[in-house]
Every structure is written in structure tokens, then in C-alpha cells.
């Protein structure tokens, strides 16, 4: 019997409930349209500096220099320009590359706001040929995104 009483109260106040729902949905739609979506892609690369398991000091120093060199290359102008060309961008995206301490890993992140893009939606095509920049392999760039 108690449950029926609650339903009766809700039925009598249905316009208040409905108005609250409509106002909330309108606020969500307006807020979502005001948010600028940011497209971001991240990847973690392993840079194997040595085929063996143990590194001596000179190999360790070389590996650190190699990883720092790759970080500089990935964030350099030629790579940014090629990425901008592949994506038909008016402005170049922001690329960050970070060496993860005490590992052979580098995390690369590309951020792009759609107002800078000549294309809309998702981009998942085109390779950036890093061999031109000194890399010995190809790295596929995928951009997906949404509102943050």
C-alpha cells in the first residue's frame, strides 16, 4: 500500500518531474555543445638499444642518448610538418614525448583540437615515416577523441 501512495504523489507532481527532466536535458545539451573536443592519441614505444640482456656502462649511456634523440626527433619540425600534411591541418598538433625512467620505453602523445583540423571526425589512416628522421621502423598514428 505504501508503494501505491508514492506513485500517487509522483502522478500528482508529474509536471514538476517532467519540467525538471526537460530543464536538465536542455542544460546538458547546451553544455555539451559548448565544450571543445580535444583529440588525443598516445602510444608507448620500446626502444631496444641492445640485443643482449645486460648492458655495460657505455651501452647504458648510449641507450639513454638514443632514447633522448628519438624524443627530440619525434617532436621535431619535420615530423610535425609531415603529420600536419597527412591530416590536412591548418595548425600543427602538440606532440609530447617522454622517456619513462629506468625503462626502454618512450610515451608519445599527440593532441589536436578540431578547430585546427581540415577534417572532422576520426582519423586513423596514414603512416608517419620516421625512417626519414633516423628511425628504422614505421609508427602508425591514430587519432580518436571526444570532449574532455
CA distance 97 to 73: 10
Give pLDDT tens digits for 74-101.
Answer: 888 888 888 788 878 888 888 888 988 8
CB distance 138 to 59 below 8 Å: no
The alpha carbon of residue 110 and the mean position of all alpha carbons in its chain are separated, in whole angstroms, by 6
CB atoms < 10 A from the CB of 63, how many? 16
CA distance 40 to 146: 9
- 24-52 as b/e: b if 16+ CB within 10 A: eeeeeeeeeeeeeeebbbeeebebeeeee
Q: What global pTM score does this model have?
A: 0.56
Report whether pLDDT(135) > 90: no
Amino acid at each position: 500500500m505504501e508503494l501505491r501512495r508514492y506513485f500517487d504523489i509522483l502522478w500528482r507532481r508529474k509536471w514538476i518531474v517532467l519540467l525538471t527532466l526537460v530543464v536538465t536535458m536542455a542544460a546538458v545539451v547546451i553544455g555539451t555543445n559548448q565544450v571543445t573536443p580535444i583529440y588525443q592519441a598516445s602510444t608507448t614505444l620500446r626502444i631496444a638499444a641492445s640485443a643482449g640482456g645486460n648492458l655495460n656502462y657505455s651501452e647504458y649511456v648510449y641507450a639513454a642518448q638514443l632514447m633522448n634523440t628519438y624524443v627530440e626527433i619525434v617532436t621535431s619540425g619535420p615530423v610535425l610538418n609531415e603529420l600536419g600534411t597527412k591530416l590536412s591541418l591548418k595548425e600543427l598538433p602538440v606532440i609530447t614525448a617522454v622517456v619513462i625512467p629506468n625503462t626502454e620505453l618512450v610515451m608519445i602523445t599527440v593532441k589536436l583540437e578540431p578547430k585546427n583540423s581540415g577534417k572532422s571526425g576520426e582519423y586513423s589512416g596514414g603512416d608517419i615515416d620516421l625512417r626519414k628522421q633516423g628511425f628504422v621502423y614505421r609508427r602508425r598514428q591514430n587519432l580518436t577523441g571526444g570532449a574532455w
